[in-house]
Structure 1
Amino acid sequence: MTLLKIGIISNVHSNLYSLMEIYDLLEKECVEFILCLGDIVGYGPHPNEVVNFIKRKHIVSIKGIYDSAVINNDFSCINEGTINSFSVNFTFMELTKNNLYYLSSLPSELIMNFGNFDIKFVHKNPYKSDQDIQEDILVCGYEHTPNKIKVGKGKCIIIPGSCGKPVSSIGGVSCGVLDISNNVYNYKILKCKHLFSKINKDMKMMNFPEILINSYDIDTY
């Protein structure tokens, strides 16, 4: 029987500490590779460190909407609020030319055929209706809360949540593991605590706006 085990992450948002914690979780699961669904940068204080980690660990990645905003240093795909006005410019100015090029070269989607399953990996669900989904498994980033949604006719939407920007409803950050054989697949969500004290210290040292710092604190935001 042919087997494949994929670790899935998304919405890292320049948070090196949580990315490292999630990576360790996935290594313990003995995944064959890790795939990132975009929004690698933005919000957090570690854009270069996160991109370098992803490249060094050979994490397969696609481009998210925040990545696109940073690459172009504009707000065509995200809103221009207080947080984003600071974050997009900070990240654009902070990233090295090599890392900006890396982000710009990422694809917007990946398609895999494994066993009996057609799988599409995207940042944001491109379909207007769940009934329009053509693949057996649609794996989406964008949403920060993990979920698994069955949409009929054996099709499924998988959402790993955010591995870098915490969600109060799950008490931290999350990722997913997709385990596939020729005929069946299993999916589970992994969660870990968010190390707010570490990233809080870095953001304050870099003079981040208080509203942005608080958005990482699941006890107050």
Structure 2
Amino acid sequence: MRIALISDIHSNWEALREVWREVRNADVILCMGDLVGYGASPNEVVEFVKRQMGKRTFLCVRGNHDNAIAFGADWGFNPYAREAVKWHQRVMSVENLEFLRGLPVRQLFTDDTGRSYLLIHGSPRAPLDEYLFPWLPESEFRAVLSYVKQDDLLVGHTHVPMLKIIGGRRIINPGSVGQPRDSDWRASYAVIDTEKEPPDNVEFHRVEYDVEESARKIIEAGLPRFLADRLFEGL
């Protein structure tokens, strides 16, 4: 079984399209949230995800930007993000906003070997908001895993790819499809191959996409130019 891991698409249709070309033959797609926010193609992204969820095993959780746009909960957001939230609320269809409201905060998945996974955007301690950065001390990751009964924890939110192995258990972040922040502008995703032995059966991938088109659409939509410029730097 091949399990594709994606996260933090952030309304970037061009990036999602290129990632999808590489993961479409996976047996399962697991998404750690933030379908929308920042970018200029929220309806295209949400409608694509809805279609895929109707055809195959495609699990998705709600991210903090999904939550902010769906429920107006944008406290703590910086001015650029808050402006993007308001823009999304204006342009998204009622049906797509309802879809975001219906996304669960947590999802469970068990692969064909019996290994179990908890999907969450931030962390079990703060599902929408906590950042689990790779440079945190090991004690933090051990503390996080104490809240998890499953074998592995799948997260997003930081936009930084990560694999932490703690006592045979893993915390995996596939990085961001639509807005990487590890100084590499290319879309990021990961794949778990269950025919190989864990913990070494996770592969991280990068794929180029039409970043100029994504940036152009942000600017033409009247969103802050900063949101377009940062795509080129992966920051």
TM tier, smaller: 0.7 to 0.9
Q: 1:99 to 1:171 in 2, by over 3 A?
A: closer
What is the TM-score normalised by the length of structure 1? 0.88
Determine if the alignment matches structure 1 residue 107 to structure 2 residue 107. Answer: no
CA distance, structure 2, for counterparts of residue 165 and residue 207 of structure 1: 18
SS at structure 1 position matched to 2:86:
helix
**C-alpha distance 171-184 of structure 1, shift in aligned 2 (>3 A):** same
Q: Which amino acid aligns with 1:215?
A: R
Task: Give the superposed CA RMSD.
Answer: 2.0
Deviation at 1:82, TM superposition (A): 2.0
In the alignment, the residues of structure 2 paired with residue 166 and residue 134 of structure 1 have an alpha-carbon distance, to the nearest angstrom, of 29
Pairing of 1:1-221 with structure 2 (within 5 A): 4-27=1-24, 30-58=25-53, 59-76=58-75, 79-114=76-111, 115-127=113-125, 129-131=140-142, 132=146, 133-152=148-167, 154-181=168-195, 184=198, 186-218=201-233
Q: 1:80 to 1:167 in 2, by over 3 A?
A: closer
SS state at 2:176 partner? coil
Aligned pair in 2 of structure 1 residues 117, 84: CA closer, same or farther (>3 Å)? same
Kindly provide the CA deviation profile for residues 118-164 of structure 1, in whole angstroms up to 9, marking residues without a partner as x: 21111112249422143211111112111111112x11111100001
Unaligned runs of 5+ in 2: 127-139
Q: Which moved more, 1:167-176 or 1:44-53?
A: 167-176
Residue 80 of structure 1: CA displacement? 3.3
Are the aligned partners of 2:179 and 2:185 in contact in 1 as well (CA < 8 Å)? no
Cα drift, residue 194 of structure 1: 4.1
Equivalent position SS for 1:13:
coil
Tell me if structure 2 keeps the 8 A contact 1:14–1:164.
yes
Counting aligned pairs with the same residue, the percent is 27
Q: Which runs of 4+ in 1 moved over 3 A?
A: 181-185
